[in-house]
Structure 1
Amino acid sequence: MPSSPDMALRPRQDIPALTGARGPAALAVVAYHLPVDPTTPGTTSWFGLEPIFMRGHLGVAFFFILSGFIIHHVYRNVFASSLNSNDVKRFVLYRFARIWPLHIVTMVGALLLYAVAVLVFNRVPGDVDSYSPLSILANTLMVQSWFGIGSPNVPAWSISAEWAAYLAFPFLCWLLMRLPLLGWIVLGIAALLLTGTEFTTHPLGRIATGFVIGMVLRECEGRLGLARHLGRFTGVGVLALLLAGCWLLPEESLLPYTLGFAILILALCNPGDWLAGLAARKPLVYLGEISFALYMVHAVVWSAFKNLLRIVAPGIEPTAHLPVLAGTILSLLAAAALYHLIEIPGRNMLRRGHRPAPQHAAETGLSSAEARPAR
């Protein structure tokens, strides 16, 4: 029997540790783009941490899995037994309001930087097609990565992929809820085995595997209570293995990281886990709340900062310790400002006249892609 919208839209429980985990994942992406910026070859030594920085892009894979987990956690009861058109419309509106305002503002910021580079400094970026009218239109509609079109704000490719997952979720959830538990397990294994194959070279293939793994993880956790069977230090142990893999595994080895991220998410759902307790602390939860803004704005801030540095202090290497630290701090400050001035007001404005969204990290915290990512 269909659950009422008021009850169905209410999450079973809040999991603050999952919000807290988003911040470090977003910082991993920042580390991938700043210290090892390929457009700014540097000679600075990062104390042997370069292998970790080089795999910072895996933060997006974590976001995709987390997005599927949280969206299914919050909305599974809404679409488990029926596809009510009002519920589908409300879900799509909530997700659109979650990501579009910040996406548009950061895209405009990237376009302004492009205009300054061309009109003031007579410099044309190499990826000029990413600033074309077609690209701007596709980015405004959040469909750019579906068709292999670039983005003025580079990280926005994942927002386009996340948007595709949001549009598919109600129908996918309704269909998958007809499966027995064994069917869910088989589906999860299949998605895991596709990870790192040719299928995931396309953004839609990548979001499909990660998002489905997250959904399967949440469904199995709900039916089997997997998290409560994990030890107190499972989260720390898995995190240590993930970090060790940065030195031990080939850079293209996505599957073992994906498996590690799945277990890590389960560990963070266990209130008794030490790492979950740390991630649930207020400073990390706040960092997680602004993580979507950090993910979306850091490339724009870094582009402006490093080019300004080249003008005012040409002898300083942008990827040296102090410039990177300054760029990171500026990105965090910009993210906090955008979270409070754009993300929350924009979300509330677009949702005006509709029922309040679920009070959960999926609504208040990066999607998917989010990669937060986004969720």
Structure 2
Amino acid sequence: MMNGTALAPRQDIPALTGARGPAALAVVAYHLSLDHTAEPYASWFGLEVLFGRGSLGVDFFFILSGFIIHHVYRDAFAAGLRWRDAGRFLLYRFARIWPLHMVTMLGALLLFAVAALVFGRVPADPANAAAYTPTGVLLSALMVQTWFGYASPNVPAWSISAEWTAYIAYPLLCRLLLRLPTPGWVLLGLLALLGTGTALVGHPIGRIACGFTLGLVLREAEGRWNLSRRLDRRAGAAVAAAVLAGCWLLPDDSLLPFVAAFALFVLALCNPRDLLGRAMARPAVVYLGEISFALYMVHAVVWSAYKNAMRVLAPGVDAAHPLSVLPAVALCLVAAALLHRLVELPARDLLRAERRRAPREGAKAAAPGGLAVRPETGR
């Protein structure tokens, strides 16, 4: 049984929402400052190494995703695996990510059509070109492109395919985790952590398998042992400082130390006394976290449109120059806010409407742990 003094299954954790914003911005910095289709700019005021590690934001998202999903849905599958609950869980997760995925993918396809028909430009890389074939588009629309080795028209959507795979596996994985004795699921978490130091993370499915599973185990451990309250209130800041230092000190192919730090960082932010956690829970930071999914999904589309417009309208301006990139980041934030308001929130409203109807379907839907009464938080 979950420790009663630990995080309640329905409790919101604003600091974790807030932490998503900087993670998404790290990915944006990685893609925009190191775009191989633009001339690399020589100096980012000493931040080149930090931006070069921005892709680690995805691994933080994977851990956080496993943690939040287990935080919200654990009790729904604690009593047993009911296929109706599993189906409803997948429907909710599909409704959470697919609308925004499709809108941004259609934006990427529109840009491809303009580039091909107007400027005669197509991807030189065969792997990227395959993403625009009918098969590639269909697989991406179904969020299964990574299963078959395809890229997506919207480059960051590879992680959405990986996330969808994790969602499909979660009900069974949750039951497995809850049936294992304590040493078993602790060992599972250690294997997931150690897996990030192997070639397993070279594939999108392997990468999320490690991060998502580690997040599940981390949430289970927090629920049973109240780990976050055992941490010093300066733990979040200390871990963040260690991560930043590691960007300069650790080898380029290091992942395991960062993943271990991210796991500790998530726990630190769950501690209501944590100083950095309090900063992450401020309304402006939480809002950035709320639009982080939209920012992550739209930034590649906005950047592609922006840099190509720059080539036409201002051919003498270096699109990779910081003074050019910063307006692009601002446009990405504006686009993310609009998509959050016009796509994500309406989809969430439809989901809530479905949940309001669900208790009227019958007494079984209102059983303890039923998904009808679960909040929808996180990604």
Q: TM-score, normalised by structure 2?
A: 0.91
The aligned amino acid for 2:69 is: I
- Tell me what 1:371 maps to: none
- Tell me what 1:311 maps to: 312
Which segments of 5 or more consecutive residues in structure 2 lack a partner in the other structure?
2-7, 359-371
Work out the CA distance in 2 between the residues paired with 1:74 and 1:130: 34
The aligned amino acid for 2:191 is: A
**How do 1:287-302 and structure 2 match up within 5 A?**
287-302=288-303
Q: Please state how far the C-alpha of 1:184 moved relative to its aligned partner.
A: 1.6
Work out the CA distance in 2 between the residues paired with 1:247 and 1:357: 46
**Which structure is higher in RCO with an 8 Å CA cutoff and minimum separation 6?**
1
Q: Is the 8 A contact 1:42 1:317 kept in 2?
A: no
Q: Please state how far the C-alpha of 1:345 moved relative to its aligned partner.
A: 1.2
The aligned amino acid for 1:40 is: A
**How do 1:8-157 and structure 2 match up within 5 A?**
11-126=9-124, 127-157=128-158
Label 1:340 to 1:218 Cα distance change in 2 as closer, same or farther (>3 A).
Answer: same
Work out the CA distance in 1 between the residues paired with 2:340 and 2:28: 17
Q: Please state how far the C-alpha of 1:350 moved relative to its aligned partner.
A: 5.8
Q: Please state how far the C-alpha of 1:44 moved relative to its aligned partner.
A: 4.0
The alignment of Structure 1 onto Structure 2 pairs a total of residues equal to 355
- Tell me what 1:5 maps to: none
**Which sits farther off after the overlay, 349-358 or 150-159?**
349-358
Label 1:226 to 1:72 Cα distance change in 2 as closer, same or farther (>3 A).
Answer: same
Label 1:358 to 1:332 Cα distance change in 2 as closer, same or farther (>3 A).
Answer: farther
Q: Is the 8 A contact 1:32 1:55 kept in 2?
A: yes
Instruction: State the superposition RMSD in angstroms.
Output: 1.5
Q: Please state how far the C-alpha of 1:90 moved relative to its aligned partner.
A: 1.3
Answer yes or no: is 1:239 the counterpart of 2:269.
Answer: no
Give the match's secondary structure for 2:341. Answer: helix
The aligned amino acid for 2:148 is: F
Work out the CA distance in 2 between the residues paired with 1:315 and 1:265: 45
State the Cα deviation string for residues 303-348 of structure 1 (Å, max 9, x = none).
0000100111111111111211111000000000001101121343
State the Cα deviation string for residues 52-78 of structure 1 (Å, max 9, x = none).
100100000000000000000111111
Q: Please state how far the C-alpha of 1:360 moved relative to its aligned partner.
A: 5.0
The aligned amino acid for 1:74 is: V
Q: Is the 8 A contact 2:96 2:348 kept in 1?
A: yes
Answer yes or no: is 1:359 the counterpart of 2:375.
Answer: yes
The aligned amino acid for 1:232 is: R
Q: Is the 8 A contact 2:10 2:374 kept in 1?
A: no
Work out the CA distance in 2 between the residues paired with 1:210 and 1:230: 22
Q: Report the identity percentage.
A: 62
Give the match's secondary structure for 1:235. Answer: helix
Label 1:265 to 1:32 Cα distance change in 2 as closer, same or farther (>3 A).
Answer: same
State the Cα deviation string for residues 69-96 of structure 1 (Å, max 9, x = none).
0000111111012112221111111100
The aligned amino acid for 2:101 is: H
Q: Is the 8 A contact 2:10 2:375 kept in 1?
A: no
State the Cα deviation string for residues 90-143 of structure 1 (Å, max 9, x = none).
111110000000000000000000000011111112232111101100011100
Work out the CA distance in 1 between the residues paired with 2:287 and 2:316: 37
State the Cα deviation string for residues 159-195 of structure 1 (Å, max 9, x = none).
0000000011011101210112221211111111111
Q: TM-score, normalised by structure 1?
A: 0.92
Work out the CA distance in 2 between the residues paired with 1:70 and 1:199: 23
**How do 1:311-330 and structure 2 match up within 5 A?**
311-330=312-331
- Tell me what 2:270 maps to: 269
Q: Is the 8 A contact 2:236 2:276 kept in 1?
A: yes
